[in-house]
């Protein structure tokens, strides 16, 4: 079975390729830079291109059975909306059209629970769309585009992984460092429900969906066990030999201070503040998704608990010089 993976050198993508190879799939990796020969334990094919020129992939399509589209522009301060639109929506739509043209056996899109908004607990897939930023809005458009293009022509599956962490996750190492050095302060109650999910559990979910007829033309949440925000942060603190600083000043005052810090940072440093509304909201508002559909259709069951997952993540961060 021949699988094409976009975003193959990113956090989820790299873990996905490793999981596919381990399970005997032939993998073609799409990446912006050439993949070093020793990146993976088994050989892979490598297509080097930018998502904005995704149409150049057409000459390789006859050698592909399944597409797993992971590549996307994540949320960062200063990136114009048009770029999110081009990468997250237009590139996805173009790839889906090629999948239809070459009668690909299944198109799997990696989306995100945030397309239905932040602030819900046990959120189901059929909740109405409620994107809050450019990233989630363009991921919503990507979902709608895939459905419109593929429906009735080839099988598609849209998977929404919840708050993924683990090895290769460079972005999360900034949080680990700030907790280790006691720069991070939790200023809200810490009682919001989160759903941190170790990356291997997400890979398992994707593997279970490949050519699984029960997953055809479905949107499915993937995630781990719920925990409180304070529990999650304290778990990190334990594994970096530190202690979480928790001063509950309440949500309104936290947002007020965050907005001031963020404004000054953007004006002077031209980047988002380390303390900003997004970070406050992330640890102050519930965001977990319902897994009943994944368990019923895929037989999905997360295996890595929080303690083990954080331990492995911190270990990887230390081994690779991030801590």
Q: Could you report the per-residue pLDDT of 109-130, keeping only the tens digit for each?
A: 999 998 998 778 899 999 999 9
Classify residue 127: in a domain, yes or no. yes
Q: Could you tell me the pLDDT band of residue 97, with boundaries at 50, 70 and 90?
A: very high
**Would the pLDDT of 4 be above 90?**
yes
Q: Which of 12, 232, 229, 223 is nearest to 124 (CA)?
A: 223
Of the listed ranges 37-41, 102-106, 123-127, the least confidently predicted one is: 37-41
Residue 235 CB neighbours (<10 A)? 19
Q: Which domain holds residue 206?
A: 2-170+198-224+289-303
**Would the pLDDT of 216 be above 90?**
yes
CA dist list (Å): 192 to 155, 224, 263, 285: 37, 15, 26, 5
**What integer best gives the mean pLDDT of the chain?**
93
Q: Which of 208, 238, 242, 241 is nearest to 309 (CA)?
A: 238
Quote the pLDDT of residue 78. Answer: 65
CATH of the domain at 134: 3.40.50.720
Count the domains in the chain. 1
Classify residue 207: in a domain, yes or no. yes
Classify residue 38: in a domain, yes or no. yes
More confident residue, 106 or 56: 106
Backbone φ and ψ of 130, nearest 5°: -155, 60
Classify residue 158: in a domain, yes or no. yes
Classify residue 314: in a domain, yes or no. no
Kind and range of the H or E run holding 82: helix 81-84
Asked if 201 and 224 touch (Cβ cutoff 8 Å), the reply is yes
Quote the pLDDT of residue 41. Answer: 87
Classify residue 267: in a domain, yes or no. no
Classify residue 190: in a domain, yes or no. no
Classify residue 247: in a domain, yes or no. no
**Model pTM?**
0.93
Spatial separation of the C-alpha atoms in residues 250 and 191, rounded to whole Å: 12
Residue 16 CB neighbours (<10 A)? 26
Spatial separation of the C-alpha atoms in residues 138 and 49, rounded to whole Å: 21
């Amino acid at each position: 079975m021949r699988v094409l993976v976009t975003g193959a050198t990113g956090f989820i993508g790299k873990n996905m390729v490793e999981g596919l190879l381990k399970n005997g799939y032939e993998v073609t990796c799409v990446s912006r830079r050439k993949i070093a020969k020793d990146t993976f334990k088994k050989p892979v094919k490598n297509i080097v291109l930018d998502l904005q020129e995704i149409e150049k992939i057409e000459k390789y399509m006859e050698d592909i059975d399944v597409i797993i589209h992971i590549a996307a522009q994540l949320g960062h301060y200063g990136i114009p909306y048009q770029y999110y639109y081009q990468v997250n929506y237009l590139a996805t739509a173009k790839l889906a059209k090629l999948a239809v043209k070459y009668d690909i056996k299944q198109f799997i899109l990696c989306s995100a629970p945030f397309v239905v908004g932040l602030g819900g607990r046990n959120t189901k897939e059929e909740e109405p769309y409620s994107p809050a930023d450019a990233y989630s809005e363009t991921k919503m458009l990507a979902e709608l585009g895939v459905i419109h293009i593929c429906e009735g022509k080839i099988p598609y599956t849209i998977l929404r992984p919840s708050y993924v962490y683990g090895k290769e996750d460079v972005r999360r190492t900034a949080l680990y460092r700030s907790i280790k050095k006691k720069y991070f302060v939790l200023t809200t109650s810490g009682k919001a429900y989160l759903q941190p999910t170790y990356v291997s559990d997400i890979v398992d979910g994707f593997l279970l969906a490949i050519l699984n007829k029960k997953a055809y033309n479905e949107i499915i949440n993937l995630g781990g066990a719920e925990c409180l925000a304070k529990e999650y942060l304290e778990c990190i603190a334990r594994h970096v030999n530190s202690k979480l600083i928790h001063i509950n000043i309440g949500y309104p005052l936290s947002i007020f201070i965050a907005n001031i810090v963020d404004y000054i940072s953007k004006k002077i440093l031209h980047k988002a503040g380390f303390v900003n509304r997004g970070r406050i909201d992330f640890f102050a508002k519930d965001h977990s998704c319902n897994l009943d559909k994944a368990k019923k259709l895929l037989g999905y069951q997360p295996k890595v608990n929080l303690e083990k997952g954080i331990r492995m993540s911190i270990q990887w961060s230390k081994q690779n010089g991030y801590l």
